Every structure is written in structure tokens, then in C-alpha cells.
């Protein structure tokens, strides 16, 4: 496996990892624009634009875009996050030029046609409806909102029915031109390929990318908040979050070890105490999320309405107890899990392609696996205890609950 990075004079970055033993290639174009860059009135436009890029270019109809890659047995898709937008394809190795041509075409030449937009808004309204019907999805949208009140980073990626209905095709074209610039884009590919061929494709097919300013998001701030939505459900879906770490934070790896011990696997404290010892939940875990400037440490548990009130003190008890530091065994387990997780993520082509694309956008360099592993190994049990205390010392807590029963009785005490 050989990793290479090329920077074109335009600012476009191209990264690849060659794996000659494979039959396939995963290729993605990463755009440094996400929901957190949106002004309030345009909430959801990044995601709407992602949809519209499949609806026709100067050379290709929507149907052509769908069928060209599928006709060689490939798959193509896209997704929008709070930080960035990704278009990607997985194809047999000889079809990389075709996949690249289609991806480059939709990024450069999409028409954002009026009549297509009218129909695609309906599709997005259905997508919003589907998300609203999924309580253990929607509770995380509420948690993000509670954590970052009145900020773009706290809003839904899909936008609202109202905001989506308001977009014009001129809005979309302007958003595309402003943000899909050479310096905002990273091409990442993993599989049976040669780096120089990938660079040649980028030079040829993405020559039309304009220069422009790097996209800028307003700095985000963890505010905390409390959002509860009563629904007639079997379960109550409980989430809470505390200020966590940005990707740049010195404490980033200590936070990963802490979260792994707290609620990262079957041997974690939350799983053992909430599920195994007390049978309070089927699904209970902690998680971290990170952005360039902020992050969160969160917990989720789904339980019966009659048990929710009693569950929060159990969770808080485990968080308190961990401020005294991890046991030797659980510390060892967490470090081993994180290290092998890094190695295992390398083996799947699509997840490795995603990791490389994201690292270029966040750090403007690829982080060698050895560096990540030594960062994990540098964390000490004292770092974990300190991190556990820092999390609980924060007075700004976010909480979001969706479900049945008396939601007001669920507290942190």
C-alpha cells in the first residue's frame, strides 16, 4: 500500500492509496461546505444542493447520471454533514475514469434546473418526514440543537419544510459557484489505481474549478439547553451532552479513551451497569463528536418510560465514579480497542477513502497510522481521570428526550 498526496496550483488536493491486490476502486470528492456554513435563511441548502447535483448537467440528464455508473456495475452516492459534503463512487478498477468523469461533471456543470428543483423539494420533504418518524434519529437532532442553541452548527442538516420550500434555483447555483472551488475540494481514492493516473484525471476533468476563498464557518460555542418532546412511544430516548473536544484539541485522544471506557463497548461501564447488571436498556452508549473548533461528549439510552427516571442517576453515578480514574484492566481494554479500530478501519476501501478525505479537510495532511497509534498510547490513566472530571465540571449541559411517559421527571440529580 502506498499513500500519495498531490497539490495542484489551483489549490485542489488529491490523495490516494494504491492497493494492487484489489479489483475495485473507491473514489470520493470532498467539499469543505456543510450545514454549519449556512445562514439561517438558507438552512438545508447544502443538502438540497447535494440532491440537485444528481438532477442534470449540461451533458447529462438525471437519468444518465444514475445509469452511467450503474451500467458498469458501480455504485454512486453522496451525503451532507454539518462540516462537509461528499460525493463518491465504488467501481471496478478499469471504470475509474468513467466514475471520475461523472463526479467531476456534476460538481462542475450542474444546471439546478427549475422544474427539477420543484420535484426534488418534494423528495426532500419526504426525507424530512422519514427522519421525523425515527425517534432515535430525531433525538440527536434535538441534542445538537440543545448543545449549540441558535447557531448554524446546531441546526438540522436537512433544513425545515419552510426553508427548503424557499430555495430558488438561483440560490442553489450561487451557492454552488461560491463554495465548490478548487481549494475547497479534496479528491480521495483507494484501491487498484496509480496515483499519477488519478492526478491526470483531476488535471483534465476538474480544470474548470474556479479559485475562491476557503469556506468559513462562524466559530461555534457549546451553550447547553434542554429539549423534550413527548410522543406516544414504547420507549423514551434519552440523550445528554457535555462540551467535548475539537479535532485540534490536545485532549482529543484522552477523550476517546475516556468515552470508550465510559460507554464504548460491551465491557464499558454504562453497558455493564445499565444493561448487564440492571437490565434497564437494550441500547446504551457514550459517543464523541468533533468539529474544527468544538465537540461534545454524549450519552444515549433507550428505556421504558417507567424506568427512565431511575436510569439517569445510574448513568451519572458511573460518570462520577470514573473521575476517580479507570481500573488498570479497563484502561488496557480501551487502548487496545482504539488501536485495533484504527487498523481495522484501514482495511475497508470505502472507510479508508473517507478517512483520508476527512483528514485532508480537517488537518490539510494525512495522519500516518503510526502517529495515531502513538497518540493513543500516550494517553495515561491520569489523563482519563482528568478528562472525566473536566466533563463533569462543565455547567453547560445539553439534554434531549423524545418519548412516552412523564418526561419532566427525568433529571440529572
Select 92 or 392, whichever has its Cβ closest to a second copy. Answer: 92
Beta-bridge partner residues of 400: 227, 239
| DSSP for residue 234 | S
Minimum CB distance to a second copy, residue 319 (Å): 20
Minimum CB distance to a second copy, residue 94 (Å): 11
Select 143 or 261, whichever has its Cβ closest to a second copy. Answer: 261
Q: Tell me if residue 401 falls in helix, strand or coil.
A: strand
Select 250 or 347, whichever has its Cβ closest to a second copy. Answer: 347
Minimum CB distance to a second copy, residue 263 (Å): 13
Select 23 or 168, whichever has its Cβ closest to a second copy. Answer: 23
Which is it for strands 24-31 and 85-92: parallel, antiparallel or unpaired?
A: antiparallel
In a 13 Å sphere around the CA of 63, the CA atoms on its Cβ side amount to 0
Q: Let me know if 203 is a catalytic residue.
A: no
Select 11 or 341, whichever has its Cβ closest to a second copy. Answer: 341
80: left (phi over 0), alpha (psi -120 to 50) or beta: beta
Select 293 or 309, whichever has its Cβ closest to a second copy. Answer: 309
Q: Pick the closest to residue 26 from 36, 40, 13, 16 (CA basis).
A: 16
133: left (phi over 0), alpha (psi -120 to 50) or beta: alpha
Minimum CB distance to a second copy, residue 99 (Å): 12
Listing DSSP states for 243-311 in one string gives: E---TT-TTHHHHHHHHHHHHSSTTSHHIIIIIIIT---SSEEEEEEE-SS-EEEEEEEEE-HHHHHHH
- Tracing cell 465491557 back to the chain, one arrives at 267
Cα–Cα distance for residue pair 188/378, rounded to 1 Å: 29
Distances (CA, A) of 306 to 138, 236, 283, 399, 409: 21, 9, 16, 19, 10
Q: Which position among 4, 17, 38, 50 bears the catalytic label?
A: 50
Distances (CA, A) of 40 to 24, 68, 155, 334: 41, 36, 9, 40
Minimum CB distance to a second copy, residue 379 (Å): 15
Minimum CB distance to a second copy, residue 230 (Å): 12
Listing DSSP states for 101-116 in one string gives: HHHHHHHHHB---HHH
Distances (CA, A) of 240 to 12, 75, 104, 259, 277: 39, 37, 41, 13, 22
Minimum CB distance to a second copy, residue 279 (Å): 3
Q: Pick the closest to residue 90 from 116, 106, 72, 105 (CA basis).
A: 72
Select 134 or 380, whichever has its Cβ closest to a second copy. Answer: 134
Select 62 or 385, whichever has its Cβ closest to a second copy. Answer: 62
Minimum CB distance to a second copy, residue 306 (Å): 11
Distances (CA, A) of 197 to 29, 69, 189, 200, 301: 16, 19, 11, 5, 48
**Which residues belong to the active site?**
50
Amino acid at each position: 500500500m502506498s499513500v500519495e498526496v498531490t497539490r495542484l496550483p489551483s489549490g485542489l488536493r488529491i490523495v490516494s492509496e494504491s492497493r494492487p491486490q484489489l479489483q475495485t476502486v473507491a473514489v470520493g470528492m470532498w467539499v469543505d461546505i456543510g450545514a454549519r456554513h449556512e445562514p439561517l435563511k438558507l438552512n438545508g441548502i447544502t443538502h438540497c444542493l447535494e440532491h440537485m447535483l444528481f438532477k442534470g448537467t449540461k451533458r447529462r440528464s438525471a437519468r444518465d447520471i444514475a445509469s452511467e455508473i450503474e451500467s458498469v456495475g458501480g455504485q454512486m452516492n453522496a451525503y451532507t454533514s454539518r462540516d462537509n459534503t461528499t460525493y463518491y463512487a465504488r467501481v471496478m478498477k478499469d471504470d475509474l475514469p468513467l466514475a471520475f468523469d461523472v463526479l467531476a461533471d456534476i460538481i462542475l456543470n450542474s444546471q439546478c434546473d427549475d422544474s427539477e428543483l420543484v420535484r426534488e423539494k418534494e423528495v426532500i420533504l419526504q426525507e424530512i418526514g422519514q427522519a421525523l418518524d425515527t425517534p432515535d434519529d430525531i433525538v440527536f437532532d434535538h441534542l445538537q440543537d440543545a448543545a449549540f442553541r441558535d447557531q448554524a452548527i446546531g441546526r438540522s442538516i436537512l433544513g425545515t419544510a419552510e426553508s427548503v420550500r424557499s430555495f430558488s434555483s438561483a440560490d442553489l447555483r450561487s451557492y454552488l459557484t461560491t463554495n465548490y472551488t478548487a481549494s475547497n475540494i479534496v479528491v480521495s481514492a483507494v484501491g487498484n489505481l496509480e496515483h499519477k493516473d488519478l492526478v491526470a484525471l483531476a488535471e483534465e476533468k476538474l480544470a474548470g474549478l474556479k479559485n475562491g476563498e476557503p469556506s468559513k464557518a462562524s466559530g461555534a460555542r457549546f451553550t447547553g439547553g434542554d429539549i423534550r418532546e413527548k410522543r406516544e412511544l414504547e420507549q423514551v430516548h434519552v440523550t445528554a451532552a457535555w462540551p467535548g473536544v475539537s479535532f485540534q484539541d490536545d485532549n482529543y485522544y484522552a477523550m476517546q479513551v475516556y468515552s470508550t471506557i465510559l460507554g464504548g463497548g460491551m465491557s464499558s461501564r454504562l453497558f455493564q451497569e445499565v444493561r448487564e447488571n440492571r437490565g434497564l436498556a437494550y441500547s446504551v452508549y457514550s459517543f464523541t463528536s468533533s468539529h474544527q473548533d468544538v465537540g461534545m461528549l454524549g450519552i444515549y439510552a433507550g428505556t421504558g418510560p417507567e424506568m427512565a427516571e431511575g436510569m439517569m442517576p445510574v448513568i451519572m453515578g458511573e460518570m462520577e465514579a470514573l473521575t476517580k480514574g479507570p481500573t488498570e484492566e479497563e484502561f488496557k481494554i480501551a487502548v487496545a480497542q482504539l488501536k485495533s479500530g484504527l487498523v481495522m478501519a484501514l482495511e475497508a476501501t470505502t472507510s479508508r477513502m473517507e478517512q483520508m478525505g476527512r483528514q485532508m479537510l480537517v488537518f490539510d495532511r494525512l495522519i500516518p497510522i503510526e502517529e495515531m497509534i502513538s497518540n493513543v498510547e500516550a494517553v495515561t490513566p491520569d489523563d482519563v481521570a482528568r478528562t472525566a472530571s473536566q466533563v463533569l465540571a462543565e455547567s453547560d449541559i445539553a439534554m434531549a428526550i423524545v418519548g412516552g411517559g412523564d418526561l419532566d421527571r427525568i433529571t440529572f440529580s
